[in-house]
Structures are given as C-alpha cells and as structure tokens.
Amino acid sequence: MNLNLLEAIDSLEKEKGISRDYLIDIITKSIKSAYKKNYGSKNVEIDIDKNLTRLNVYQVWNVVEVVENPKEEISLEEAKKIDPKIEIGGVIKKKVNLKKDFNRIAAQTAKQVILQNLKEVEKQKLFERYLPLKNKISTAEVIRVTGSYIDIRIGKLETKLPEKEMIPGETFNKGDLIKVYIKDIQNTSKGPRIMVSRTAPEFVCELLASIVPEIDEGIVKIVKICREPGIRTKVAVESTLPNVDAVGACIGEKGFRINELLKELKNEKVDIIEYSDDPKIFIKNSLAPAEVENIILNEEERTAYVYVPENQFSLAVGKGGQTARLAAKITGWRIDIHPLN
C-alpha cells in the first residue's frame, strides 16, 4: 500500500483518536465507490488486512442463465471456463490488477473519496471532543479585535464573541485570556461551530459554581437567576443541609468569593439572596438590603403590594427601577412598592 497513505492513517489513529478498523472501513467503501463510479459495477470485494500490508480488489460476477448486466453478471457457459464446478447462483471473482486495470482516473477518484471521508471523520471526532464543553465555561484566547466582535480561540477551534454577547463596557486586547460560556456547539459542514456568551445568566451560574465548592458538591443550589448584564444580577440560592448558610457560602469569608466573581464580571453588581417557597419571604429577600414592613399578595393578579419605610423607598425601587424590576423577574410576581408615611 502507498507509504503516504499508511503514514496518514497512522497519524489519524494516533493524533485524532480514530480507530484503525474505522479507517480501514472508510478505505474499503471509498475504493468500492470509485470502482462503481468509473466501471459501473458495485459488485466489488475488498481484501485489506489490519496492518495495511495487503490490499486486493476483486471484481465479482453473479452466474446467471441470461446476462442482462454484463458488468455484474456472467453466463454459466463463460463461468465454467473459469471454474468448471460453478453453477447458477454462484459467483466468479477476478482479482483486479490495480496498476493495470485500476486506471489513473479511478485511482484519483478513490483517493479523493478517501480523503473526503477522512476529513468528515476528523470533523466528527473534533465535534465529539468539544461537545462536552456545551453549557460550561471555558477559557479562550483573544486572537483578533474588531468593532462588532472579537475572534477567540478555544483549544484548536476559532469562533467569534459578538458585541451583544459581551458585558457592556468591557474591552479586550489580542492575547488576553478570557472566560466564556459555551451556549451551543453545532456540527456544520465546515466543522464544529461554537456559540459563546459572557452575558448569559448561565455564565454567572457557572462562574459561581467554579468559585463556590459547595455548589459543585450539591450542598448549595442555585434555584433562580435573573440578570441585566453589566448592571446587576440577582441569584437565589438554597442549602440542602440545615447547618450550611447558602448565602454565606457564596459570599465567602471577608467577601473573598463574591469579589472573585465581581472581578470577572467587571464589577457588575451581584445580589446573592436566599430562596424561599414562601412568596412573601422570597419577595422580601429579593428587595434586600431595603427594609420591608409589609407585603400584601393578590393571588389572582399575581401582584405583590410591598410597603417600605419612606427612607427605604429609593433603595427598594433601585436606580431606574432596576432593583424592583429584577426582584419581579426572579420571584415571578409583579411588585408594586409603596412608601409608608
């Protein structure tokens, strides 16, 4: 067999993790396809050993009484000249002289089919290698900076981080190492395509999980999250153990853990609040640090009328209504805040 092909197969097996059996199957199918395309016959047998030291191609004819397709059928009379013991329904095989009978065009076709199949396998393997990164955070290198997006590299794959998926106000330079959330990985004709974001709420969840071991261990659960990228995020957490403070675990000693999160989010404000099945308690927690005096719920309209001291009204509503808006999103209640005189 051609030495270059042997080397290529060895390389694919070692570097790309493609099994030799699978590669041999590709070569077999490619030669059959090329033979059919150039000689009009699909009755071909390929004999190839695992060490790739033997490659034989056989043209196969079915023995019939009346020949309708000479490329795939042979009469009993002609067949007996080759094998006197042959009968109707049997097959006659003839070894193809690859150098003589397998002409240059057929050989080139086989080579192209093999290479194309190998490329497809390599793309599939690459897709399978990156698929486990979906819905996780990965480190990417900035390789180009443009006006509306930046080009980044994750491992060996390049993709784009669009401006709409960047935290407002953040800037990057070539060579920077940044964290991105992998929203999706698509298997396209050109190979795996990675969709990334730094504005998705899940980006904050995964960052927090990487900083807070209790989340990774399942001791602390992120129940709900809502986010206005670059401005504020609210994260509702709960503990699965009675002796563990979920909020405290996320903030960390002297605020170390939450500060790590804020650094990555370019100082976007993050409120870690305790989740509760009781809507009044959950609404109260979602408006912290503002003090809440009373909450009246209208179940039919799913509206919460919240009463706060007059000096707490601005804090409860937040700049541009931001705090109240995020509290409504995370609790699922329309929140109507009123100051107490």
Mean pLDDT of the 307-314 span: 94
Of 133, 130, 194, the C-alpha closest to 159 is 194
- Greatest extent of the chain over all pairs of C-alpha atoms, in Å: 113
- Is the pTM for the entire model greater than 0.75? no
Secondary element (H or E) of residue 112: helix 104-130
50 and 154 co-located in one domain: no
Comparing 29-33, 127-131, 211-215, 265-269, the range with the smallest average pLDDT is 29-33
Residue 129: what residue type? R
Of the two residues 173 and 57, the one the predictor is more confident about is: 173
209 and 313 co-located in one domain: no
Residues 315-341 pLDDT 10s: 999 988 999 999 999 999 999 999 987
Structure tokens that stand for 150 in this block = 């930046």
Structure tokens that stand for 62 in this block = 């079915």
Mean pLDDT of the 206-223 span: 96
CB distance 108 to 115 below 8 Å: no
In sign, the C-alpha dihedral spanning 171, 177, 180, 186 is: positive
84 and 116 co-located in one domain: yes
Q: Into how many domains does the chain fold?
A: 4
Backbone angles phi, psi at 169, to 5 degrees: 90, -15
Compute the mean pLDDT over every residue in the chain, rounded to the nearest whole number.
87
The pLDDT-based confidence of 10 (bands split at 50, 70, 90) is: low
110 and 7 co-located in one domain: yes
Full residue range of the structural domain in which residue 253 is found: 200-275
CB distance 61 to 95 below 8 Å: no
CB distance 43 to 35 below 8 Å: no
CATH of the domain at 262: 3.30.300.20
Distances (CA, A) of 225 to 150, 255, 270, 322: 27, 20, 10, 15
Specify which of 30-34, 121-125, 165-169 reaches the highest per-range mean pLDDT: 165-169
Looking at residue 3, what is its pLDDT? 44
CB distance 198 to 165 below 8 Å: yes
